[in-house]
Amino acid sequence: MGTEAGLSAGRLVGRPVRRREDDRILRGGTRYLDDIDLPGAAHVAFVRSPFAHARIGGIEVPDGIAAITAADLDVSDLPVQGIEGGEVSADGHPVLAGDEVRYAGQPVAMVLAESRALAEDAAELVEVDYEPLDPVLDARRSDVTMSRWHRVSGDVEGAFESAAHVVRASHSLPRLAPVPMEPRGAIASFDAAEDLLTVWVSAQDSHRQLAGLARVLGRPEDSIHVIVPDVGGAFGSKGAPAPETMAVAAAALATGRPLKWAEDREENFVASYQGRGMEAEVELAFDGDGRILAVRARIWADLGGYLMPTTAIPTHTTAMLMCGVYDVQTADVQVHGRRTNKVPTGPYRGAGRPEAAYFLECTVDVAARELGIDPLELRRRNLIRELPYKTALGWTYDSGDYARCLDLAEELVRPERGGDAERVVGTGFGMYVERAGGQFETAEAELLRDGRVLVRSGSSPHGQGHDTTFAQLAADRLGVTLEDVELRFGDSKEVPRGVGTFASRSVAMGGSAVIQAVDALKEKIEAVAAGRGLREVAARHAGLRAAARFESDLVFSSGAYGAVVEIERSTGRLTVLRLVAVDDAGTIVNPLLAEGQVIGGTAQGLGQCLVEEAAYDDEGNPTFASFVGYSLLTAAEMPGVIAEFVETASPLNPLGAKGIGEAGAIGTPAAVANAVADALGGAGVDPPFTAEKLWRALG
């Protein structure tokens, strides 16, 4: 069932309501982690490995310096999440390095001092006896596999043997740094009398931090209080708890002193887990009419030195989506996650979906050129047309209208190709289907004495505007105004235990839980209301509350992106002339905010195409330790973006919503890559599409 009666016609739902969060931000009233000063707290700096791979012989701390090493902490390694139908190794990230370091920047020891500057001074004096080892930097040549997944469906061999055409293409996506504008950080304070450890952490939610802390520190969960303050962006990088957060918490327990760690930008570049870093060889078998008979894909993922809790997840996601939007039931997909001496990878906006869309869609365009069929026509011959659709690889796509998305993208982008002596122009498209939501989410709704309703949500915002979006949902359900709804997020003692914010799940899951909690509260209110208004009821029945736990299978957003690009022959400079984003995220609760998510995502997708690459040198040293080595796009580079929504409601939640948070980052790279290949007359180039690469490709 799609949207319930009254929802799509809501007074607030579906409207571009401006955000309530803004006033505080605009006036400078935000409190991110580093804005919090705990009296008496010592400041932390980490001693980090300068080597990509080394054994540690010993650590010498001069007198007068307060330092903590692995030997001083009674903690376990960070846990590792498995992947369904696959295997992961036991390479959990240690809190502080033991007798080995596996990447440059890995935290080895922590130093406490009265100020960050003094802590950095002290950190320089700690002597670590490193015995450097040769680093492994090429995932395909690494002989250590840390994650593996393989699925075969149907007679793949037979399909390839009988195929009229077989198309092969190789693609490589370098690692990217998430670069939230606010780096990571944590503050920990232990109250021995209450046996309560309080941890403030810049994170995507309190739940995973809490679970991770409890496990690593070996403490019961109710003895830990996690508070997530304002968060300045995350994009996946603040989801899994950081080893540094664990170290700070453990050290606060060990020393009894409150401790503050506010990461600086250099640390964030070097030590925060990265995204992408996958290579693929894709083969498509076609019949004589351009119908895909089978998909075969081999994917190698550069996982870094350890498995962070969520490192293996993007590899699994990429593999599961290798048939994309196409009606193909015969597939053989395997992914090998290999260990290298680099910082671990993990979920970064898109988290496996951009890779799948890229690998498949770029290969489809190669096929179009080889088969002599228009790329859009080739797609149209193969699109899934009836949903729900059970894929060969295991997931079931719940809803979508892929053909409509593609038609709209084609119409809006106004394809263009050609060129002259000075420039060459190309057009490309990229389609995607992506998994969102899943698991469960929680909410509680409570009637306050003044007649307002307080909603506590297990979702946790870091820029998405949940306070406004969820208030829209609740207000419409209750028939009240936005001002009558208050939201609470991010404090483990204030919100019900939930799952958190990642995988574009907040509206579909968090929003649905809010609706269910509010509906349940409404029932309770109506049971005692006897015709009276909310304010009257509240005077008598303040504290009336209801809880909800909304569970659902994954929902699948989809879309089609189109790009027109121009390459200047004399320099190789790439300019994106037009970018169109057509996304189907089901019901859109707030189109203003949804579009903001799309545009933000496209900027990151464009960054991946134009300038971003987290490259290590031959010795395993990061070349991206500052903004000089790692570029971000500025306002001057952003093209106009046309964002449109197709709304096919999901049957899996009362909102009919899917997810929009990552779409821009998922669809853009494939579309731009295909446009570049079109402009180059078919030459395959991997991103980032630097001027030098394009200039050489143009010959």
- Cβ pair 468, 541 in contact under 8 A: no
Q: Select from 3, 12, 13, 21 the one that contacts other proteins (CB under 8 A).
A: 21
Show contacts with other proteins in window 36-65 (CB under 8 A). Answer: 37
Query: What DSSP string describes 599-666?
Result: HHHHHHHHHHHHT----B-TTS-BS-SSTTTS----TTTPPPEEEEE--PPPTTSTT-B---TTHHHH
Q: Which of residues 580-619 bind other proteins (CB under 8 A)?
A: 592-593, 595-596, 599-604, 610-611
Segment contacting other proteins by CB under 8 A, of 4-12, 48-56, 113-121, 274-282 = 113-121
CA distance 281 to 169: 6
Pair of tokens at residue 635 = 């306002």
Q: Where are the alpha helices (DSSP H) in 546-634?
A: 591-610
Least separation in angstroms between residue 381's CB and other proteins is: 33
* 3-class state of residue 363 by DSSP: helix
Of 22, 235, 273, the closest CA to residue 661 belongs to: 235
Query: Which of 214, 632, 683, 685 touches other proteins (CB under 8 A)?
Result: 632
Residue 218, Ramachandran bin (φ over 0: left; ψ between -120 and 50: alpha; else beta) = left
Give the shortest CB-242-to-other proteins separation in angstroms.
18
User: What six digits make up the tokens of 221?
Assistant: 């969960």
Task: State the angle between helix axes of 663-679 and 591-610 in degrees (0 to 180), rounded to the nearest 10.
Answer: 40
Interacting span for other proteins (CB under 8 A) from 101-109, 152-160, 176-184, 283-291: 176-184
Whole-number minimum distance, CB 237 to other proteins, in Å? 11
Q: Which is nearer to other proteins, 115 or 162 (CB)?
A: 115
Q: Is the peptide bond before 688 cis (omega within 30 degrees of 0)?
A: yes
Of 181, 527, 539, 615, the one binding other proteins by CB under 8 A: 181
Per-residue mark of binding to other proteins, 201-230 (x: CB under 8 A):
-----------------------------x
Beta carbon of residue 109, minimum distance to other proteins (angstroms, whole number): 18
Binding mask 235-254 for other proteins (x = CB under 8 A): x-------------------
Shortest distance (Å) from residue 626 CB to other proteins: 6
H or E, element range at 446: strand 440-447
Q: Quick one: which H or E segment has residue 247?
A: helix 243-255
Provide CB contacts within 8 A for 562, sequence distance 6+: 409, 410, 412, 413, 415, 427, 428, 429, 578, 579, 580, 582, 671
Is there binding between residue 114 and other proteins (CB under 8 A)? no
Q: Which of 162, 396, 481, 626 lies at the binding interface for other proteins (CB under 8 A)?
A: 626
The nearest distance, CB 479 to other proteins, in angstroms, is 26
Quick one: which of 9, 11, 18, 481 contacts other proteins (CB under 8 A)? 18
- Binders of other proteins in range 655-684 (CB under 8 A): 664
Q: Binding residue for other proteins (CB under 8 A) from 64, 372, 640, 699?
A: 640
For residue 647, the one-letter residue type is E
**Terminal C-alpha separation, the chain:** 56
Question: How far apart are CB 602 and other proteins at their closest, in Å?
Answer: 6
28 binds other proteins (CB under 8 A): yes
CB of 183 to other proteins, least distance (A): 8
**HSE value, Cβ hemisphere, 13 Å, CA-based, for 494:** 17
The answer to whether residue 25 forms part of the interface with other proteins (CB under 8 A) is yes
Q: Are 7 and 650 in contact (CB under 8 A)?
A: no
Q: CB-hemisphere CA count at 13 Å for 189?
A: 15
Total number of residues binding other proteins (CB under 8 A)? 73
Whose Cβ is closer to other proteins: residue 20's or residue 380's?
A: 20
**Residues numbered 559-578 forming contacts with other proteins, rule: CB under 8 A:** 570-573
List binders of other proteins among 452-491 (CB under 8 A).
Answer: 462-465
Give least dist CB 640 to other proteins, A: 7
- Residue 194 CB neighbour total at 10 angstroms: 10
The count of C-alpha atoms lying within 13 angstroms of the C-alpha of 612, restricted to the half-sphere facing its C-beta, is 23
Span 392-451, contacts to other proteins by CB under 8 A: none
Spatial distance between the Cα atoms of 599 and 641, rounded to a whole number of angstroms: 7
* Interaction of residue 622 with other proteins, rule CB under 8 A: no
CB of 611 to other proteins, least distance (A): 5
Q: Which of residues 256-285 bind other proteins (CB under 8 A)?
A: 264-266
CA-CA distance, 138 to 615, in Å (whole number)? 12
Least separation in angstroms between CB 600 and other proteins: 4
In the set 224, 333, 576, 641, which binds other proteins (CB under 8 A)?
A: 641
Pairing of strands 275-286, 185-191: unpaired
